[in-house]
Amino acid sequence: MESRRRSLAKALSYRLGGLVITGAVAWGITGQLRFAAAIGTVDAVFKVALYYAHERVCTRLSFGRPRPPEYQI
């Protein structure tokens, strides 16, 4: 099971790349760096929260995980 810190670190590192890409696309479309940075930042904040929540829900699911043996010697 993953810790909350690890889930948060994964969410932040993943969204850092997304922030750069979203900001670059917005800048390319609008030509306004400040507006593009605002779009990228708002997008990143919401998606970090959603990714973190998704990670925490997934850690509680048993789907795709091997079942522990009924007994161990």
Quickly state the pLDDT bin for 66 (edges 50, 70, 90). Answer: confident
d(CA 20, CA 65): 34
What does the pLDDT look like over 36-64, one tens digit per residue? 999 999 998 998 899 889 888 988 888 77
Please give the residue that has the higher pLDDT: either 30 or 7: 30
- Across the chain, mean pLDDT equals 88
Contact 12, 33 (CB under 8 A): no
Q: What are the structural domain ranges in the chain?
A: 4-59
* pTM score above 0.75: no
Q: Identify the H or E element spanning 39.
A: helix 33-60
Identify the pLDDT of residue 34: 95
